[in-house]
């Protein structure tokens, strides 16, 4: 069953997918920082308010993934910011997250050498989002 | 004009204090890729003392072209400082052409014995395989292996 984009149900499904991934378990070994995803509002796409996804990732495991405010996400050690439609492109596999960061489509804040060291883990996290059936507000 | 010093190693101490900018940008609006590479190298040199001597000695113009986003940068190493240009500048010592994932893999190469990149682990084998299959092209590699190894060490986050 599809879950609403960036809803608590989506966050829970995302956490399950990450924890099912053996690739992430290996690639994320040693990671010990929080990651915030800021989803900027796009009212014309029926995504009226910005949201924040706060991810507590530790040593190859997603301990918690919660939906909160953009301000919550901005407090994390690493913050990736993009408008709703960009995140939709990432979650539907139309935009590779690495390419998106190099092109500035996804804006990254945090220690670059650390995030680059975990490129494979972040790619697998992106893969995990593509496995979730999502109900997109602009496709209703 | 041709820069006769390109590709040589200078000897200068890097003042890599937290407040000293080692990297500057030639363009008023650096591309996201330029900012990312400049930021990565600056953070690497400042946080890893073993990279300082390479950075202090390296004089070379290194082009990196990311084939799947059609964007590139030139890293102009000037012996303790670096200027990042949007796009490929002329008279480059080395030019690396690869897709985004491979460029990121280059920064994940481990550095082994004698400061040489490790090509026998998973990441290294992947990079070597792409080089053999032509998915990673390095113009100017053979006459500049020493420079390439120094760039790899500075670039590596491992």
Cβ–Cβ below 8 Å for B104 and A111: no
From the list A103, A108, A123, which residue is nearest B69 (CB)?
Answer: A103
Q: What mean pLDDT do residues B101-111 have? A: 90
Q: How close, in Å, is residue B42 to chain A by CA atoms?
A: 10
Helix (H, G, I), strand (E, B) or coil at A92: coil
Chain B hits for A112, Cβ within 8 Å: 36, 39-40, 43
Candidate from A103, A113, A117 with C-beta closest to B32 = A103
Which one is the CATH code of A3-139: 3.30.1330.10, 3.30.1050.10, 3.40.390.10, 3.40.190.10? 3.30.1050.10
CB contact under 8 A, B33 and A117: no
Measured in whole angstroms, the distance separating CA A20 from the mean position of its chain's CA atoms is 16
Give me the pLDDT at residue B19, please.
64
pLDDT value for B50: 87
| All structural domains of chain A with their residue ranges | 3-139
Burial of A101-134, coded b for 16+ CB within 10 Å and e otherwise, reads: bbbbbbebeebbbbbbbbbbbbbbbbbbbeebeb
Q: Which residues of A touch B (CB under 8 A)?
A: 96, 98-99, 101-105, 108, 111-114, 116-117, 119, 123
Report the pLDDT value the prediction gives residue A45, as an integer from 0 to 100.
Answer: 95
Nearest by CB to residue B68, choosing from A99, A108, A123, is A99
End-to-end distance of chain B based on CA atoms, in angstroms? 36
DSSP sequence for chain B: ---TTTT-B--------TTS--EEESSSS--HHHHHHHHHHHHHHHH-HHHHHHHHHBEEEEEEEETTTTEEEEEEEESS-EEEEESPPSS-SEEEEE-HHHHHHHTT--B-GGGPBP-SSHHHHHHHHHHHHTSSEEETTGGGHHHHHHHHHHH---
What integer pLDDT is reported at residue B95 of this predicted model? 97
Residue A108, pLDDT > 80, answer yes
Using CA atoms, how far residue B83 sits from A102, B29, B48, in Å, is 18, 13, 20
Q: Which residue has the higher pLDDT, B65 or B11?
A: B65
pLDDT average, residue stretch A37-62 = 96
Q: Determine the pLDDT at residue B97.
A: 96
Q: A68-80 burial string, b = 16+ CB within 10 Å, else e?
A: eebebbeebebbb
pLDDT band at A57 (very low <50, low <70, confident <90, very high): very high
- What's the pLDDT at B112? 87
Question: Per-residue pLDDT averaged across A77-84, rounded?
Answer: 96
Residue A74 sits at φ, ψ, to 5 deg, of: -70, -15
Q: What pLDDT, in 10s, does the model give residues B30-54?
A: 999 999 999 999 999 998 888 999 9
A87 to chain B, minimum CA–CA distance in Å?
Answer: 18
**How near does any CA of chain A get to the CA of B105, in Å?**
8
Nearest to B85 by CA among B137, B28, B6: B28
Nearest CA to A17 out of A140, A111, A125, A136 is that of A125
CATH class of B23-155: alpha beta
Residue B100 burial (CB count, 10 A): 22
**Cα dihedral: A128, A138, A11, B32 (round 10):** 60
The answer, for B44 touching chain A at a CB cutoff of 8 Å, is yes
Question: What are the extents of the domains in chain B?
Answer: 23-155
Flag whether pLDDT at B151 surpasses 70: yes
* Cα–Cα distance measured from residue A90 to residue A126, given in angstroms and rounded to the nearest whole number: 7
Is the pLDDT at B140 greater than 90? The verdict is yes
Percent of chain B, pLDDT > 90? 66
Which B-chain residues 69-108 have CB contacts (< 8 A) with chain A?
Answer: 69, 71, 100-101, 103-105, 107-108
Q: Is the pLDDT of residue B3 over 50?
A: no
> What are the chain A neighbours of B32 within 8 Å (beta carbons)?
101-105
pLDDT at B20 over 80: no
For the entire predicted model, the pTM comes to: 0.84
Average pLDDT over residues B112-123: 86
């Amino acid at each position: 069953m599809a879950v609403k984009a960036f809803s608590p149900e989506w966050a829970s499904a995302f956490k399950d997918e990450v924890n099912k991934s053996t690739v992430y378990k290996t690639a994320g070994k040693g990671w010990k920082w929080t990651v915030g995803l800021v989803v900027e509002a796009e009212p014309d796409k029926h995504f009226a308010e910005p949201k924040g996804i706060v991810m507590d990732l530790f040593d190859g495991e997603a301990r918690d993934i919660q939906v909160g405010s953009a301000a919550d996400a901005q407090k994390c050690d690493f913050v990736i910011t993009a408008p709703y439609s960009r995140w939709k492109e990432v979650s539907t596999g139309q935009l590779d997250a690495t390419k998106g960061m190099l092109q500035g489509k996804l804006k990254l804040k945090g220690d670059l050498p650390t995030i680059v060291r975990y490129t494979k883990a972040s790619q697998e996290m992106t893969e995990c989002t593509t496995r979730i059936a999502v109900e997109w507000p602009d496709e209703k | 004009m041709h820069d006769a010093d390109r590709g040589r190693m200078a000897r200068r101490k890097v003042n890599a204090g937290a407040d000293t900018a080692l990297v500057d940008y030639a363009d008023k609006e650096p591309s996201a890729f330029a900012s990312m590479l400049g930021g990565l190298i600056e953070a690497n040199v400042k946080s890893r003392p073993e990279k300082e001597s390479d950075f202090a000695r390296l004089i070379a113009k290194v082009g990196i072209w990311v084939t799947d986003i059609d964007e590139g940068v030139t890293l102009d190493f000037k012996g303790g400082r670096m200027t990042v240009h949007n796009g490929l500048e002329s008279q480059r010592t080395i030019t690396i052409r690869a897709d985004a994932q491979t460029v990121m893999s280059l920064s994940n190469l481990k550095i082994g014995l004698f400061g040489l990149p490790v090509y026998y682990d998973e990441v290294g084998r992947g990079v070597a395989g792409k080089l053999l299959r032509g998915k990673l092209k390095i113009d100017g590699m053979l006459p500049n292996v020493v420079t390439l190894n120094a760039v790899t060490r500075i670039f590596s986050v491992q």
